[in-house]
Structure 1
Amino acid sequence: MAQMHNQLSAAEGTWALRRLPDMDEAQFNQWQTLLEHRTGMTLTADRRSFLETNLGIRMREIGCSSYQAYYEKIVSGPDAIREWATLVDRLTVQETRFFRDADAFRLVADYVLTRPREQLRKRALEAWSVGCSTGEEPYTLAMILNECMNQLALQPLFGVTGSDISQPAIEKARLGQYSARKLLGMDEDLKARYFRPAERNTVEIVNSIRERVCFARLNVMDLGKAPMHGMNIIFCQNLLIYFRRWRRRDIVKRLAERLAPGGLLVLGQGELTDWQPPGLQRVPPEHVLAWIKRQPDEE
């Protein structure tokens, strides 16, 4: 019996080390179609090796020996929903850091500092980070809004929502703990104000900022059902690059619907070209791609 167990273990070990066969055209198209149908994300042909690598890693983890068997597990297996969530987390790029796009965050600060003070005193500012990954972006927005409120000598009346398709990313974001590498290049005063030492050589966001930020799992394909409305600031960077041009426009239209009149929409540079979203007015700085939603009497 022990000998048989050892033989089985050896066989499993051999399979785990064996390279999977290359994905053929039909298999790649099948996965490509599934991803686009469920998430809207488009995997171009030059990213086939990226897909093969990430599928292969997961297939080895669960002992699945062919792309077709794994596809069937994802589509109709008993644990299909959970397995799909795990795979989506692997396929979405989550490399981000605090204050990643300094120009864009400077624009957000300028926008807040030029709002009528009476407006900021009476109504909470609502910001939304779309495709927030592990939370660096929404926490950065919260820090900026807090700095602006301090500068204006106002109570910190604001809230930030972060949304992402990846449940594991959302769970990391809620935890609010990060390696020191994520803070590279960040102003030392801001580090001291908004972070404190945590376990295992990490740092964590201070409670005064964490309590201003909430997180929700959301697929941008389902923006029509999103509960976010009347947002003052919507920040959506490094997300639209994964979608076809026509779908990018559809997503931006949906986001614009969720802006309050006079609200600010910030995208990543180059993510939307040669198109003017209806009802929005381009913000002048050339190095930031952003729009203000027109007031009803400006339509």
Structure 2
Amino acid sequence: MRVINITEKEFKKISHYIQANYGIQLKKEKQTLVTGRLYHVLTSNNFRNFTEYYDYLVSDPTGDAAGTLIEKITTNHTFFMREADHFHYFRDQVLPVLVETAKDKDLRIWSAGCSSGEEPYTLAMILDEFLGKEKKWWDTKILATDISNRVLDQAVKGEYPNEHLTSLPVHWRNNYFKKLNGEKSVLVDRIRNEVIYRKFNLMENVFPFKRKFHVIFCRNVMIYFNDETKLDLAGKFYHWTEPGGYLFVGHAESLNRDLCRYKYIIPAVYRKE
């Protein structure tokens, strides 16, 4: 097996490209990880070193090279009911307020960095159960975005290994999933159809939305960003949040309360007043 090592200069160029385009900060200790994850890309394209690969990356007009890079570098780890207290707060504290205040029975929720769909589908199940028979009068479609085509393809299918569903309430598993076989289950159409999946890079200068959101979930995404990038993204989220709306971030994340315009509510939950 051919060994291709990355020099410090090459790592700096690639990590700068990733941060400039995707916001992800790769510290020096990630140098070995980058080498390992990109090794197959280099060998399959017959690049002799990372400089040749970088030149190919920045000159590729199709964007395919950049797409492959982000698939290799990003970590898409999630599961049903991750940080479950957020979902309980959404159900018990946020939804009762929004149901009373939302105009035209239109609830707009965005799952940013949705990965393989567990988060937006959980929100869809909560909405279905909370609204009950009234749901037919509501527009509760959830926008779910991610930068990875691979996880978006998985999410659209709505198929999950049965052992991944054990954290869900039994009645949810019975009502919202159909067994495909002994190993996998698929979400029923009325839940799958509640989520609209789109590829989107949170580093875009302009967010292409027409209306603001009542709730934004962006959990365990900003953990990979530096403080400046986090603050800039929080500012964009704030602009696209309805007054009285909420932002949920991951428990390992926090926003600078002195610089951020959101009001801190509880750990990892913020509100636009």
Determine if the TM-score, normalized by the shorter chain, exceeds 0.5. Answer: yes
Whether 2:141 is the aligned partner of 1:159: answer yes
Q: In structure 1, how many angstroms separate the alpha carbons of the residues matched to 2:131 and 2:89? A: 15
Displacement over 6 Å in runs of 4+: none
2:141 alignment partner, SS class = strand
1:170 alignment partner, SS class = helix
Whether 2:271 is the aligned partner of 1:289: answer no
- Cα offset for 1:171? 1.9
Question: 2:106 is aligned with what amino acid?
Answer: A
State whether residues 217 and 248 of structure 2, in contact with CA within 8 Å, keep that contact through their aligned partners in structure 1.
yes
Distance 1:34 1:27, change over 3 A: same
Whether 2:230 is the aligned partner of 1:248: answer yes
Q: In structure 2, how many angstroms separate the alpha carbons of the residues matched to 1:116 and 1:42? A: 36
1:232 alignment partner, SS class = strand
Match of 2:186 among 191, 199, 204: 204
- Cα offset for 1:116? 6.2
State whether residues 231 and 260 of structure 2, in contact with CA within 8 Å, keep that contact through their aligned partners in structure 1.
no
- Cα offset for 1:154? 2.1
Distance 1:100 1:25, change over 3 A: same
- Cα offset for 1:185? 2.2
Whether 2:212 is the aligned partner of 1:230: answer yes
2:135 alignment partner, SS class = coil
Question: 1:128 is aligned with what amino acid?
Answer: W
Whether 2:53 is the aligned partner of 1:70: answer yes
State whether residues 248 and 272 of structure 1, in contact with CA within 8 Å, keep that contact through their aligned partners in structure 2.
no
- Cα offset for 1:51? 0.6
Question: 1:291 is aligned with what amino acid?
Answer: Y
Whether 2:120 is the aligned partner of 1:138: answer yes
Which sits farther off after the overlay, 136-145 or 153-162?
Answer: 153-162
Q: CA deviation digits over 1:126-179, x for unaligned, max 9?
A: 1100111111111111111112112xx522521111111112222221122222
2:14 match = 31
- Cα offset for 1:257? 0.9
2:153 match = 171
Listed as ranges, the matches of 1:118-137 within 5 Å are 118-119=100-101, 122-137=104-119
Q: In structure 1, how many angstroms separate the alpha carbons of the residues matched to 2:43 and 2:76? A: 22
- Cα offset for 1:250? 0.8
Q: In structure 2, how many angstroms separate the alpha carbons of the residues matched to 1:274 and 1:262? A: 19
1:55 match = 38
- RMSD (Å), alpha carbons: 2.1
Question: 2:19 is aligned with what amino acid?
Answer: E
Question: 1:154 is aligned with what amino acid?
Answer: E
Larger Rg: 1
Distance 1:77 1:159, change over 3 A: closer
- Cα offset for 1:117? 4.6
Listed as ranges, the matches of 1:94-105 within 5 Å are 94-105=76-87
Which sits farther off after the overlay, 67-76 or 118-127?
Answer: 118-127
Listed as ranges, the matches of 1:103-118 within 5 Å are 103-115=85-97, 117-118=99-100
2:70 match = 88
State whether residues 177 and 202 of structure 1, in contact with CA within 8 Å, keep that contact through their aligned partners in structure 2.
yes
Q: CA deviation digits over 1:65-85, x for unaligned, max 9?
A: 32122112211146x511211
Gaps of 5+ in 1: 1-16, 295-299
Distance 1:223 1:137, change over 3 A: farther
Gaps of 5+ in 2: none
State whether residues 98 and 137 of structure 1, in contact with CA within 8 Å, keep that contact through their aligned partners in structure 2.
yes
Match of 2:176 among 184, 194, 198: 194
Percent identity of equivalent pairs: 27
- Cα offset for 1:92? 0.9
1:155 alignment partner, SS class = helix
State whether residues 112 and 148 of structure 1, in contact with CA within 8 Å, keep that contact through their aligned partners in structure 2.
no
- Cα offset for 1:273? 4.5
Higher relative contact order (CA 8 A, sep 6+): 2
